[in-house]
């Protein structure tokens, strides 16, 4: 199997895992909200899942395309991506969540559940990408 093929296989696997995993978690999240008689689409839940999905795709895609030129710095670039996600949270979500003076558990979970799922899938995929032999990346 060629190197390019291995890297593309990892990227394809990342995208599939991200979409399927985040979709399942989103449905489970809604199910739990419904089971507890809580509002389903409050707390910017759709925006939180969509934003985390888009950020994860953007960050992983950037790392994928930069893997040859900046292979030794991919870990730092990944950390920058995590910083970017927190910046997005504090700029776009936190003000709305704190509008009433505090951030509820529902608001916290609306953003950080998809954040954690995306982070785990990104991390595992990046580790696989980094473990390819240098000549294969």
- CB neighbour class for 87 (10 Å; exposed up to 12, middle 13-18, buried from 19): exposed
> How many domains is the chain built from?
1
Residue 95 half-sphere exposure toward CB, CA atoms < 13 A: 4
In the predicted model, is pLDDT for residue 135 greater than 90? no
Which range of residues forms the domain containing residue 42?
A: 3-136
Per-residue model confidence as pLDDT tens digits over 11-26 = 999 999 999 999 999 9
- What mean pLDDT, rounded, does the chain reach? 92
CB 118, CB 18: distance < 8 Å: yes
Q: Mean per-residue pLDDT for 79-105?
A: 92
- Continuous segment of H or E residues that includes residue 102: none
How far is it, in rounded angstroms, from Cα 6 to Cα 61? Answer: 15
Per-residue model confidence as pLDDT tens digits over 19-74 = 999 999 999 999 999 999 999 999 999 999 999 999 999 999 999 999 889 888 98
């Amino acid at each position: 199997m060629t190197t390019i093929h291995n890297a593309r296989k990892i990227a394809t696997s990342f995208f599939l895992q991200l979409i399927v995993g985040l979709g399942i978690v989103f449905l489970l999240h809604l199910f739990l909200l419904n089971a507890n008689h809580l509002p389903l689409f409050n707390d910017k839940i759709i925006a939180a899942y969509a934003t985390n999905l888009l950020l994860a795709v953007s960050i992983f895609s950037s790392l994928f395309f930069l893997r040859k030129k900046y292979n030794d710095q991919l870990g730092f670039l990944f950390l920058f991506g995590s910083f970017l996600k927190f910046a997005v949270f504090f700029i776009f979500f936190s003000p709305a969540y704190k509008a009433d003076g505090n951030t509820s558990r529902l608001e916290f979970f609306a953003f950080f559940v998809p954040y954690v799922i995306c982070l785990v899938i990104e991390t595992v995929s990046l580790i696989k990408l980094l473990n390819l032999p240098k000549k294969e990346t």
